[in-house]
Each structure stands twice: as C-alpha cells, then as structure tokens.
Amino acid sequence: MEKIDVVQDYTPPLARDGKFHVRLIEGRFQNWRRLTSWPLLALFFGLVWVRVDGQPWLLFSFEQRRINLFGSALSWHDLPLLAGLMIAGASLLFFLAVAWGRIWCGFACPQSIWTWLFIRIEQFTEGRASQRARQEHQPLTAALLLRRVVKHGLWMLLATATATTFTGYFVPIREIVADSVNLEMSPALWGWIVIMAALTYANAGLVREKICLHACPYSRFQGVMFDRETRSVSYDHGRGEPRANRRNAGADSGDCVDCGICVQVCPTGIDIRDGLQAACIDCGACIDACDNVMEKIQRPTGLIRFASEAEFAGEKARLLRPRLAGYGAVIIAAMGGVLWGFAGTTDLLVEIRRDRGALFTQLDEHTVCNNYRVKVESFAKVLSPINVSVQGPEQFELFGAETIDLNESNSTWLPYRVCGIDIEQPRSTLTFNFQGPQALASKETTFLTQRK
C-alpha cells in the first residue's frame, strides 16, 4: 500500500497570508454529503426538545443521577451500556475506514459539518473564494467591514445555538431557555455555554482544517487501517499524466488539464494528485470538481474517484475480507451485549449503610437494635410510593417510614432502626424489601449483636 504522506507544519497551497479560502462546488458527492449531514443536524438540534411523558427523550442528568435514553430511564450504574455503544461505534468507524477510508471525516464528522456551515455563511456575507482572497489585499472599507461584522455575528449566533443545544443534553433545554430569558441562569452554566460557543467559533471559523491536520488523531493512525483494497479518494496517475492544458495538449498528454480546481475545493487544501495523504478527509469535493471539468472538455469522468490500490493495479477488490469481518463481528457482539444489558436494567435502586457511630444498641436483656440509612432511587417514568419491610431468620421489627413517597424522597437518605428480640447469633442476615406498583427490589445487610 502506498505510504501516507504526513507533512509537518503543513500549509495549504492556496493559503494567502496564512488564510485558506475554500471554493464551494456542486456535485453528486456534495449532494450525498448534504443528505448525510442535514439529517444529523436536524437530530442534534431537534432531539433535545423532544419530551415523552413530560420527560426529555434524551438527557444525561448529573443532578438527578439518571440517563433518559429514548424513553428508557437508566441509572449511572448502567453506564457500561454506553461503553458498549461506544465500542460498537468505534468498531463501525474502523469498519468504514478499512472499506472506504476517512469517509466518516468527510461526510459525518461534526468538525467537517460545522466547517461547511461556517464556509457557507462566509460565502453568503463576503462572496466567493476568489473574491474573499482578493479582499485580503484590499483596503478595509466600510462595506467590507460591515460584511465581516455580519459574518462573525452569524458565526457567533450559530456557535451559541450549538453550545446551548449541546448543554441541553445535560440540563433540560427548556430550563436553560427560561433561565436565560429571566436572567436566572447560574454562573457555572453561563460559563460552560460561553466556553463551548467559543470553541465552536474557533474550531469551525478560525482554525478549521488545522483541526483535521494537527488535532485529530484519526489522520495519524488511519494508515494502519488501510489495505490494498481500501477505497479512498484517489487520482488516476496512469490516465491523468503527463498534465497539459488544452492549448499545449499533445498526443501523449494525459487527461489532467492542470486547472487546479481540485485543490481549490479541498477543505484541507491538499493536492490529491500528489498521492494519498493523511490530510485527505475523503469528502469527494475534488471528485465533483474534476468530473465537472471533464464533462466540459468532453472527456470521461472518474479521473479522480474512490478507488483502491488493487483497482489501479488491475485487480478485483474484494467486498468481504478478514479485517472487515473482524470489525463486523465486534459490532454485532457489542450491540448484542448492549441489548442484553438493556433487558436487565432495573427501575429501582437501593443503597443501605450501617450507622458508623455505634455497631448496635442494647435496649434491654432481650432486645438489640441496629441503625441504618436507606436510599431508594427510582427510574420509572411515574414515581409511586414504595413500601418498606424487613425479614430474616430471626424476629425483627422495623422502625421508620413504612412507605416512601418518591415524589418527595427520591434519592434521599432516610434513617431506619431495626430491632431484634432474643437474637442468639453475633451476626445475622437481614433483608430489606422494597415494593411498589411497578418495581420490586431487595437488599441484604448484616445485623450485629454483642453475643458470641
């Protein structure tokens, strides 16, 4: 496989005074990219507002120590299920990398999606890439200043909406909006939103391709994911070389007319004709640009296309191969484990702690009491009263609230005393039972006496 070129301190060839202006292009790959990115954007900005039975459909609440996941309430004890989802997602990412290179980066990565949005805003306010490049060397006029102010204002507006929406997956979005309107939002929440908005503004508006080139680790280890049959955006050297423009083209000239549009449309500013490079995110922009040029000069399209090293060598690329099968097996196993875990989740969690001040209390010759603290945490959609009782091999009596109103005492430590009569053993097993209309839980603890 051809070695991936990793260039340190890389500068895009079209950068002027350190700034790179991306030329927008239309084509089938850009249409596919929009068919991928727009639904993802709609889900990101829309899911945070969805409520089911009065509860957010997707919420990671630190305050309530619960996760609302598509209508199911999970506790933080169920976090391993999310780890399983992450393993499945990572395996899917590796699967795509082996099959089609960095297609995730070019079509679905949030950094790429927001970068394209910011570029769209930049073109709307300041004009096309060539016009923006010329303006870099022109005196700053009032009209140009106004355009830049509008551009940065729209950038900050989008960044703030992004940060607020992202925060809404951890704090209910309706509370955030209401508190911000009433100027009652906590300083910590304000600070978080400001920091997230500033990072979004910087990543998508100011540094852009530098994130893909220097900050993203995926470009560094993608080389070990590739094999001879990995399809990625590639330039057909055999067909395109030697390059020549239409005026100087001869009988031995290749199809590449050296127009440079493939470089102008690249969001990372690379020249795909130089071969496979770590900076390429496989977005297909150069394919659309080259195909447009080939159609205009009446030559076959596909000079730049998704192709593998095996294809260029005249071999037939296999769809199924061991590495792909391995990643597919990991995806299936991880998802199977997650589904099995969801089937075993509970709506009621109980914690019991002994009183550390005294191991036991001797009331009289026959009666010994132990003190406990009990916390009941329900993750049901509707909180119902929970009845509390104890049982064991000895005669025990419970002192404390026999019914817990979870609407008032959910996830609250409550004191209880359990007394035993004529307990012979120094240590006995005691079981707390918690029963409600929709949930049942039991928790064992120990009952101590002074007898030996």
Rounded distance between C-alpha atoms, residue 393 and residue 13, angstroms: 81
Q: What pLDDT does 162 receive?
A: 97
Identify which of 103, 114, 115, 108 has the alpha carbon closest to the alpha carbon of residue 267: 115
**pLDDT in the model for residue 362:** 85
Q: What is the pLDDT along the chain (452 residues), one digit of tens a residue?
A: 444 444 444 445 455 445 778 999 999 999 999 999 999 999 999 999 999 877 888 898 887 777 888 877 777 777 788 888 889 988 998 898 888 888 999 999 999 999 999 999 999 999 999 899 888 888 889 999 999 999 999 999 999 999 999 999 999 999 999 999 988 899 999 999 999 999 999 999 999 888 888 888 877 777 678 888 899 999 999 999 888 876 666 667 889 999 999 999 999 989 999 988 888 899 999 999 999 999 999 999 999 999 998 888 888 777 778 888 898 999 999 999 888 887 777 778 888 998 877 888 888 888 899 999 998 888 776 778 889 999 888 788 999 988 988 888 888 899 999 998 888 788 888 999 998 876 788 889 989 887 65
**Centroid of chain to Cα 416:** 43
- Contact between residue 425 and residue 451 where contact means Cβ atoms under 8 Å apart: yes
What is the reported pLDDT for 2? 46
User: How far is Cα 412 from Cα 433, in angstroms, rounded to an integer?
Assistant: 17
pLDDT at residue 221 in the model: 74
| Position 325, amino acid | A
Gyration radius of the chain's alpha carbons: 31
DSSP 9-73: T---TT-BTTB--PPP--SHHHHHHHHHHHHHHHHHHHHTT-EETTEESEEEETTTTEEEETTEE
Q: In sequence order, what are the residues at sequence separation of 6 or more whose Cβ sits closer than 8 angstroms to the Cβ of residue 141?
A: none
pLDDT on residue 7: 44
Is residue 230 within 8 Å of 321, Cβ to Cβ? no
Residue among 64, 112, 149 at smallest CA distance from 281: 112
Q: How far apart are CA 164 and CA 196, in angstroms?
A: 8
Q: List beta partners, residue 66.
A: 61, 75
Residues whose CB is less than 8 angstroms from the CB of residue 320 and which lie 6 or more positions away in sequence, other chains included: none
Q: What torsion, rounded to 10 degrees, do the Cα atoms 355, 358, 361, 362 define? A: 160
Alpha-helical runs (H) found in 127-141: 129-135
The amino acid occupying position 401 is: A
Q: How far apart are CA 406 and CA 64, in angstroms?
A: 13
Return the residue matching tokens 């006995």: 428
